[in-house]
Amino acid sequence: MWHSGGWRHFIDGSDGDKKKLTWPLIQRVLAYARPYWGRIALLLLTIIVTTGLGLLTPQIFRDLIDVAIPTADTTRLNLLALGLIAIPFVSGLIRVVQRRLNSAIGEGVIYDLRVAMYDHMQKQSLRFFTNTKSGELLTRLNDDVIDAQRAVNGTIVEIITNLITVVATLAVLLAMEWRLTLLGILVVPFFILVARRVGGQLRTLAREQMTYNAQMNVMMSETLSISGALLVKLFGRADTEVSRFQDRAARVAESGVKRAVIGASMFVVIGLISAVGTALVYWLGGHLVLSGVFSIGTIVAFGTYLTQLYGPLQALTNAPVDFATSMVSFERVFEVLDLPVEIAEKTDATHLSAVRGAIAFEKVSFSYAAEGNALRETERVWDEDQYTASGDKSVGTQQGRTQARETALTDVSFSIEPGQLAALVGPSGAGKTTLTYLIPRLYDPTSGRVLLDGHDLRDLTLASLSGAVGMVTQETYLFHDSIRNNLLYARPDATEAEMMAAAKAANIHDFITGLPNGYDTVAGERGYRLSGGEKQRIALARVILKDPRILVLDEATSSLDSQSEALIQAALKTVMEGRTSIVIAHRLSTILSADVILVVDRGQVVERGTHTELQALGGLYANLYETQFRGQLTEA
């Protein structure tokens, strides 16, 4: 009945959605339940037992009315009364076990799903995170997974229970009186008709509500973070943001009301259809009782069975809608799991244990516009406001020359010997940060190769590459945790002495010990309780504790006071000693001490050499020296 009617309609997804509910999707969901087949079998057994016990109650009423009371059999009456108590008691105990099994299965499946999602997200490249809003990721991990959990714990189990109940009750009814049974199920096509007409609307509204929820979560993530809240307050846009939030919250509420009203209307109509079916059965059954064909106990039992039939039948009528709606959450979860891993590790990748630190770029080109992984974007309130955080995407100028371009890097080739200090200089947006991002393999080149000790980075294990490269970015990030845990994030097995030695090397130990709680002081959200110089020195200490062979540093000290800058410069000398270092240089002292200077302009290395050699060329470096660096001599 259901395979040819309501079920196939909803499984085929004929509501016009781009994403359709298909058998492969259902099979994929069921695959996550495979480790729990034993518990599922026990769950089905409990459902069958409780259904069977439920079928005994109308028979007790029938025997009570037709036999025990008319014959004044007190013993039989007592036993039947005890049966009416024992059946719900035993059923209740079994349902507790059933609930335990159901929860264990549902929580287990969702645990597997949630961990798989988080693991898959961690494997994504930086491109994925720059193309996807954090609020969207949290929606997938929280709201969508919770909705999927409801499907496993509730919808699917209810469908199975109701199916068993309907089949068993129909069998009993047919055995009692087939004519009344046929009259009772005469209204079933009307159930199906209502479900088909309303089901598509409910599924569309469910998807719409999830989209609006995601939009609301995205906004909360953006404006309630420390950076977002600071921006809102500085520009006095609190009222505007509240208005925007009201608009998004109103959409969620409106969608929820529509869904509730349509669902309630559906159940009103279905309830009316059930009432018509019940009335027909009692009407004909009453005439049969009056004619002596039926006993009163039989018609009472039949009516009770009919109630037990229509309840699950109503639920089953709406089951395709509920099931399809629940599958929307799985669709959104699987969209994350189906994203290809851009930075993948080869099965035969080489683990580089002894790293010398030789870096080479061979005809490397890279474009941020290359097609990358991203979730379906949640629409913004205003589409024209697109924010980018990459310094290399910004439009920088040098003597009227724009750095705007489609390709971030073009045919870049250079090499750095082990232990050398290479300084990257150039206009803002020239491609310096992009170059540094390719070394720890945050991105892969669009073409060309990046080599470490002669090995293509794509041929190395991610663990060995991560262990070999340490990076300090211009924007230092600290977790909302103690300074100790932020430092130990680099090497959790480090001793207290090693941690303090790293802090001393970064000129931050004395500052930390002067705090009320020392190393156990909480850094605050993104480290906002600390100054810029303090955060940078903690970041340097974290890299020192990691002890990598290769250092990639954005030496951004222009916004720091002279004392913090001096401490960081002294710490940098300690950090870079004996290591291969690639530094985006902002200070003349670093440039002068570099073994090689790479001048980057419009995504290309246009000049290479020492300070003296590049000065003699009279090219871009000479211009940069006169406009940006020469003034530092005067300051000194």
Residue 410: per-residue pLDDT: 92
Decide if pLDDT at 306 tops 50: yes
Strand order in the sheet with 447-452: 409-416, 359-366, 447-452, 455-456
Mean pLDDT of 499-506: 90
Residue 230: per-residue pLDDT: 67
Residue 401: per-residue pLDDT: 54
Residue 385: per-residue pLDDT: 33
Q: Quickly tell me which residue has 């009279």 as its tokens.
A: 618
Residue 180: per-residue pLDDT: 80
Residue 383: per-residue pLDDT: 33
Decide if pLDDT at 487 tops 90: yes
Decide if pLDDT at 353 tops 80: yes
Whole-angstrom Cα distance, residue 3 to residue 9?
Answer: 9
* Kind plus residue range of the DSSP H or E element containing 382: none
Listed in sequence order, the residues at least 6 apart from 579 whose beta carbon sits closer than 8 Å to its beta carbon are: 357, 419, 548, 549, 550, 551
Whole-angstrom Cα distance, residue 217 to residue 210?
Answer: 10
Residue 416: per-residue pLDDT: 94
Residue 607: per-residue pLDDT: 93
Decide if pLDDT at 245 tops 50: yes
3-state helix, strand, coil in the chain (%, to 5): 65, 10, 25
Q: What is the tens place of the pLDDT at every residue in 137-184?
A: 877 887 788 777 777 777 778 888 888 988 998 898 888 878 788 877
Burial 585-602 (b: 16+ CB within 10 A, else e): bbbbebbebbebbbbbbb
Mean pLDDT of 254-270: 81
Mean pLDDT of 497-519: 90
Strands 455-456 and 447-452: antiparallel
Decide if pLDDT at 564 tops 70: no
**SS3 (DSSP) at 469:** strand
Burial 475-501 (b: 16+ CB within 10 A, else e): ebebeeebbbebbbebbeebeeebbbb
Strands 447-452 and 604-609: unpaired
Task: Calculate the dihedral angle through the C-alpha atoms of 341, 467, 431, 606, rounding to the nearest 10 degrees.
Answer: -130
CA-based torsion, 168, 170, 173, 178: positive or negative: negative
Residue 129: per-residue pLDDT: 83
Q: Which domains does the chain have, with CATH numbers?
A: 21-337 (1.20.1560.10), 417-635 (3.40.50.300)
Q: What is the tens place of the pLDDT at every residue in 288-304?
A: 888 877 788 888 888 88
Decide if pLDDT at 558 tops 90: no
Mean pLDDT of 99-127: 87
Cβ burial, residue 322 (10 Å; 0-12/13-18/19+): buried
Mean pLDDT of 40-68: 90
For the ranges 21-25, 67-71, 470-474, 593-597, which has the lowest average pLDDT? 21-25
Name the percent of the chain lying above pLDDT 70.
85
Is residue 574 a contact partner of residue 505, using CB atoms and an 8 Å limit? Answer: yes
Phi, psi of 398 (to 5 degrees): -140, 105
Residue 24: per-residue pLDDT: 82
For the ranges 400-414, 441-455, 551-565, 598-612, which has the lowest average pLDDT? 551-565
Burial 42-69 (b: 16+ CB within 10 A, else e): bbbebbebbbeebbebbbbbbbbbbebe
More confident residue, 489 or 190: 489
Residue 429: per-residue pLDDT: 84
Is residue 582 a contact partner of residue 436, using CB atoms and an 8 Å limit? Answer: yes
Decide if pLDDT at 231 tops 90: no
Residue 553: per-residue pLDDT: 87
Residue 400: per-residue pLDDT: 45
Most confident of 400-404, 486-490, 570-574: 486-490
Residue 10: per-residue pLDDT: 33
pLDDT category, 363, cuts 50, 70, 90? very high
Q: What is the tens place of the pLDDT at every residue in 200-214?
A: 677 778 778 878 887
For the ranges 116-120, 325-329, 377-381, 522-526, which has the lowest average pLDDT? 377-381
**SS3 (DSSP) at 421:** strand
Cβ burial, residue 132 (10 Å; 0-12/13-18/19+): buried
Mean pLDDT of 60-71: 87
Mean of all residue pLDDT scores within the chain:
80
Residue 321: per-residue pLDDT: 66
For the ranges 372-381, 389-398, 431-440, 560-569, which has the lowest average pLDDT? 389-398
Mean pLDDT of 62-89: 89
Structure tokens at 11: 């499984």
